[in-house]
């Protein structure tokens, strides 16, 4: 039963990621008149793809905490020993919110701010992954 529930959650998370990807691709073709240079927008979306990939790895390593009883999650929103459902739900919401914020920045012509947003987000995710690997956590897909 637990494997089935986890499978449903993983499929839901992957469906959310596919929706985000479709939303970002579609948003390249629906643009306000004041939008910036398309090549700059595409670069921001490439950075968004990099962020989403890192977030997926972060989620996978966070799910591995349950195999390490001495370790605990440091994100206060998830709690010290979050369930798989809580981890997957948290990352699904976080990733969707990140994509929407990125799109809002780009569609309002704030491309430089979007680049800064992406750079900071990628840096934080990379740091979380490095920390998780340092603890011995691994990503299993």
- Chain-wide mean pLDDT for the chain? 79
Render the burial of 63-86: b for 16+ CB within 10 Å, e for the rest: bbbeeeeebebeeeebeeebebeb
pLDDT at 133: 86
Per the CB < 8 A criterion, the answer to whether 103 and 25 are in contact is: no
The mean-pLDDT minimum among 16-20, 33-37, 57-61, 88-92 falls in 33-37
Average pLDDT over residues 86-112: 90
Residue 117: which pLDDT band, with cuts at 50, 70 and 90? very high
Task: Say if residue 33's pLDDT is above 60.
Answer: no
Separation of alpha carbons 41 and 37, rounded Å: 7
Per the CB < 8 A criterion, the answer to whether 51 and 43 are in contact is: no
Of residues 80, 55, 54, the one with CA closest to residue 65: 80
Residue 4 has what DSSP assignment?
H
Model pLDDT for residues 10-24, shown as the tens digit of each residue: 655 665 666 666 666
Separation of alpha carbons 118 and 135, rounded Å: 26
Of residues 18, 33, 89, the one with CA closest to residue 59: 89
Structure tokens at 83: 């369930």
């Amino acid at each position: 039963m637990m494997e089935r529930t986890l499978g449903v959650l993983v499929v839901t998370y992957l469906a959310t990621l596919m929706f985000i990807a479709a939303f970002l691709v579609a948003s390249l073709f629906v643009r306000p008149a004041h939008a910036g240079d398309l090549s700059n927008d595409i670069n921001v979306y490439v950075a968004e793809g990099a962020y989403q990939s890192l977030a997926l790895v972060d989620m996978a390593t966070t799910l591995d905490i349950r195999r390490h009883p001495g370790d605990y999650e440091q994100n206060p929103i998830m709690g010290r020993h979050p369930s798989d459902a809580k981890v997957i739900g948290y990352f699904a919401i976080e990733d969707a919110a990140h994509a929407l914020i990125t799109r809002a920045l780009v569609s309002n012509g704030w491309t430089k701010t979007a680049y800064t947003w992406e750079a900071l987000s990628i840096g934080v995710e990379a740091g979380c992954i490095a920390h998780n690997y340092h603890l011995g956590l691994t990503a299993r897909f």
